[in-house]
Chains A and B, each alone.
Chain A
Amino acid sequence: MKKIANQILYNLKKEKSSFISFGVIILITALILNCAAVLLCQVDSAYDTKFEKLSTATLNAIVPEVQNSSELEKAIDETEKVEKIESHTAIMTEATVKDFNGADFTMNTVFYNIDDKRTLNNFEIVNESENDVDNPIYIPLYVSNFGGFALNDEIIYVIDGKYHSFTVAGVIEEMQYGNYGLGLLCVYLPKEEFAELADSYSDKAVVEYSMSVKSDASLDEVKDDVSKAIENKGVMALSILDSESVKGTRTMVTDLLVLILAAFALIILAVSVFLSNFKVKNAIESEITNMSVLKALGYTSAQIVASITLPYAIVSLLFAVLGIGLSYTLLPVLCSVLTVQSGFSFAVSFDLLSFVCVACILCGVVSFFTYISARKIKKTQPIDGLRGNISSKHTKKNYFPLEETRGNTKFLLVLKQIIASTKQNVMLFLVSFVLTVLIAFSGTLFYNVVVEPDNFMSALSDEVADVIIYPKSDSVSELELKLGNDNRVQNSLKYMSAIVKIEEKTVTAFACEDFSKVRNDVCYMGENPKDADEIALGSAFEENMKIGDTVRVTVDGITKSFQVTGFVQSVNLQGELCELSLEGYNSFFDQNQTPALYVYLENADNAEKITKEYKSDYTALVTDTVNSYKLQTEAQDMYMGITVVLVVAIFAVTILIVLFILYIVIKSLLVKRRQELGIYKAMGYTSSQLILQTTGSFMPVSMVAIVLSSFLAIYYMPAIYQFIFETLGVMKNNIEISFGFLMLFAVAQILVNIMISIILCMPIRKISAYVLIKE
């Protein structure tokens, strides 16, 4: 090691700037990879730790208070593998939060009494107001972060059209519910406020049974057993939530982020491997004489190989450590973004395992591949090296002999140059191809979120109308008439949601008078239900059922059979849903239920006006109206914001990488071809001719790779998006691959490449024919 230390230092110093460029690429890789690794290692355990710390129940069942009995409690308690149960009364209702992140936000909400004694499902107060406030309420982190409610802010809940104003007295963290994805949120009220609310809504009173389950039990089985036990008592559970599904929805975005970061890092790692290989091969070619001199002096091949390989190992280790260090400045930002979505706060700490893994992977992969390339020097006899014979393989055949080949000589010279630098071109081809995948990915995302936002939104949301009107029970047809006569309205649909039970599973049901008229058709297989005995099931049922099967559906204690016509998706409900025809749903009741009216407008800009108008002008007919267009555009704006940031970040990183790669390639090219360029200059070739000839020798290859990759993206991009959406539970997406957009991005990428190359080739102007005179 000592003997070759000088050689290593020499190699490092000689190409300082190239090594720094290479190092920066490694640094970016390490930064991204370490973010992924730390999140992977820590979020899960942070979640579990908090889950344990708050003694969160693994299973929670909510039943209407009127149906509760001591027998029911006994039955649940005696269910096999249930370790411990605890019950609380609460109020469960659909409630709309006003000005939730700028819009109305409707969600099933459970109101708890904060003063109840609890041994299970504890919560932690993260932030509490110091002063006494009117109508205090304690809201979960998710509502606070996502809805934009701070301490002492007013928060209005609308229940059955009635407004309830509270003041945020505290923000709490709990692990039982969590985010929008579950379709169920909770809030806590102090004793008096709770009692007041309970008085007004005695019909919405519920009892919640929280259970801890024996450690050897299968959660799914216990869940089934519990719901059977409840059913056997003739009770309809309003919700049975298990902690696994909760965890799944709450960590979904984190998992997705880890996946994308890791994929991104691996692509850049591949790029750095190509690059280091290229550099090593190049170094061997241009340094073969020096190396042979060393060999002749008695250095062993191993020592020489080490002197070439070790600088890469050292640089990648050094910059990997630097990148890992830097990642800890980025991680807190990622954490706070993820907290908003996951509804639980966590801070990452230095992670030794990630550190070791990331550093070892980067350093190891780079060392391994550089060693493979450097190894061939072992086979070279010193005397061959001294004669410069190592490249004899390349000079055996004269490609495109100028004498015989037809065509412009200057053009043929470019072709010769392309052939002469095959290795470099293979590397550039691969790198350009791979980087184009990133560009195509972000380009497609940009197109579908910003240019054609409906494509993206339809995958993430349930049915969205422009305005939703909740009529009073007997005024549905009258309102429909009014809407029909309103020329600002395109059409309206009777639509409703409710909680039903399919076999043993409690899910959200959507009923609509005509699913063929909805704007966002969520059916991805088979058909929507039309007749009274038809049903379409959520993707969660796809495993055990098929189209044509008969299923038992229970609503309000009545069970009927339905025929499965198709499958539908929902990212928010994790596939736990179903669709019924309106007649199908009403067949459970003696009297038709009052649906909501989903109103679709000719011009969505009128949504705000119409929402207000119908509420104030038809007080006799309407309980409430919601501007759901606004709600949707606000969500859309958020996704657009994130997408633009993401696309810009991917672009910036890609351009940065391209810049460093071209820098390394061109630099080594200029060093290698210095004399050759001098000869050309002596012959009278101008700088601009040579800059064009040089860029011409590698640009076409990278252009072909970019165009080819963009073109192939039409085929592979849908698969990538399908994969990502499927991990989110979306089976059918409307992501469009715009050929024009891909080509636009490809052209932009090519132009940037050309510009960078020409700028980097500028030093050719400084190479004078005079270099030849100095031996």
Chain B
Amino acid sequence: MSNKKEIIIKATKLKKSFITGDTEQTIFENLDLNIYRGDFTVIMGSSGAGKSTLMYSLSGMDRPSSGEVVWNDKTITSLSDDRLAIFRRKNCGFVFQQIYLLDKMSLMDNVLTASALSGANKKESVKYAKELFELVNIPEITRKKFPSQVSGGEAQRAGIVRAVINKPEILFADEPTGALNSNNSTAVLDVFTKLHNDGQSIILVTHDKKTALRGNRVLYVKDGKIYGECDLGVYTSDSKYREAKLNNFLTEMGW
């Protein structure tokens, strides 16, 4: 763990439980966690372990049952719903497994719908959106299409553009390649790597080893806590060492 790194999120004594009927199901409890600026943090764990729940609690998309989440000295767990929405538009970008583009709008308009919230000049937003579309390799003609008319990979890359258009502090991604074939997956993951290399902090949830390799810090969620974590170092496209290290870690965790 690099101590020099600056903390963005500090979570303390976090608890999340769901009440269904009379039974309470605790997903995690007494969980402490720091997230650092510039990190590509990967959250791993088996299906149903509570990876997504944890990520959304950290991001202010959902409220933990108890405990505190502090972003750069700002306690978001005490914000009202509307304050939280305003907080999200400035600080978080989200990428979902199901992509969730607005299906009645072109890819470009989906992105601009998000940028409208930042209060930024529209011309500049359009310019920046174009740069980002270049970055994710979506040509002009595709940007004008509707979500139903493009491939899953293209849609997801547009989803990423939408997520980062307002230059969020952290980009959150919940199994962004879960619904994609391997070619499309690689293209999408390359975008994450590029963004990370440009300094974007990322938190990504996955249960796929290949995807996890893209991160520099891997957290393993199990039994309602951070069961363990592993520092992989910076991603390079062809590193046997990192792959072996991750494999060892996962075996240790009981993957």
Contacts and interface: CB of A to CB of B under 8 A. Distances in A.
B62 A686 contact: no
> Chain A contact residues (Cβ within 8 angstroms of B): what range?
20 to 34
Nearest to A398: B106
B89 A683 contact: yes
B113 A683 contact: yes
B108 interface: yes
B103 interface: yes
Interface stretch (B26-34, B79-87, B180-188): B79-87
A684 B89 contact: yes
Given A409-B116, A413-B116, A416-B104, A402 B146 contact: no
Interface string A674-714: 01101111111111100000000000000000000000000
Interface string B128-159: 01000000000000001010100000000000
A403 interface: yes
Interface of B is mostly: helix
Contact of B106 (A401, A679, A768): A401
Contact of B86 (A398, A684, A775): A684
Contacts, number: 103
Interface in A397-416: 398, 401-403, 408-410, 413, 416
Contacts of A768: 61-62, 81
B106 A682 contact: no
Interface string B8-52: 000000000000000000000000000000000000000000001
B167 interface: no
A401 B146 contact: no
A682 B88 contact: yes
Interface string A413-434: 1001000100000000000000
B117 A685 contact: yes
A517 interface: no
B128 to A, nearest CB: 12
Contact of B62 (A395, A409, A684, A770): A770
Contacts of A678: 100
Contacts of A88: none
Given A684-B90, A685-B85, A395 B96 contact: no
B112 A675 contact: no
A392 interface: yes
A150 interface: no
A398 B143 CA distance: 11
B56 A770 contact: yes
Interface in B99-121: 100-106, 108-109, 112-117
A394 B61 contact: no
Chain B CB count within 10 A is highest, among A678, A682, A688, A765, for A682
A395 B148 contact: yes
Nearest to A409: B116
A620 interface: no
A686 B113 CA distance: 13
B70 interface: no
Contacts of A408: 116
B174 interface: yes
B85 A686 contact: yes
B105 A416 contact: yes
B74 interface: no
A532 B96 CA distance: 97
B109 A398 contact: yes
B98 interface: yes
Contacts of B116: 402, 408-410, 413
Contacts of A687: 81-82, 85
A422 to B, nearest CB: 12
A682 B94 contact: yes
Contacts of B92: 684
Contacts of A684: 85-90, 92, 114, 117, 166
A773 interface: yes
Interface residues of B, number: 41
Interface string B185-202: 000000000000000000
Contacts of A688: 82
Given A685-B117, A687-B82, A687-B85, A409 B112 contact: yes
Nearest to B104: A420
Chain B CB count within 10 A is highest, among A402, A675, A768, A775, for A402
A403 B56 contact: no
A420 B146 CA distance: 14
A219 interface: no
B92 to A, nearest CB: 8
A686 B82 contact: yes
Contacts of A681: 85
Contacts of B56: 770, 773
A675 B147 CA distance: 15
A26 B87 CA distance: 47
Contacts of A680: 113
Chain B CB count within 10 A is highest, among A413, A679, A681, A768, for A679
Nearest to A400: B109
Interface string A607-647: 00000000000000000000000000000000000000000
A686 B114 contact: no
Interface in A366-413: 388, 392, 394-395, 398, 401-403, 408-410, 413
Nearest to B107: A398
B126 interface: yes
Contacts of B101: 679
Contacts of A334: none
A395 B103 contact: yes
A402 B108 contact: yes
Contacts of B174: 773
Contact of B112 (A403, A682, A772): A403
A769 B98 contact: no
A357 B98 CA distance: 52
Given A409-B122, A676-B102, A684-B88, A403 B113 contact: no
21 contacts: A388-B148, A395-B103, A398-B105, A398-B146, A401-B106, A409-B113, A409-B122, A416-B104, A420-B104, A676-B102, A681-B85, A682-B88, A683-B113, A683-B162, A684-B85, A686-B81, A686-B86, A765-B81, A770-B56, A770-B62, A772-B98
Interface of B: 52, 56, 61-62, 81-82, 85-90, 92, 94, 96-98, 100-106, 108-109, 112-117, 122, 126, 129, 144, 146, 148, 162, 166, 174
Given A395-B104, A401-B106, A410-B116, 18 more contacts: A395-B103, A402-B108, A402-B109, A409-B112, A409-B116, A679-B101, A681-B85, A682-B96, A683-B94, A683-B162, A684-B88, A685-B117, A686-B81, A687-B85, A768-B61, A768-B62, A769-B94, A773-B174
The 8 closest A-B pairs by CB, nearest first: A684-B89, A409-B116, A402-B112, A684-B88, A686-B82, A686-B85, A398-B106, A402-B109
Interface of A: 388, 392, 394-395, 398, 401-403, 408-410, 413, 416, 420, 675-676, 678-688, 765, 768-770, 772-773, 775
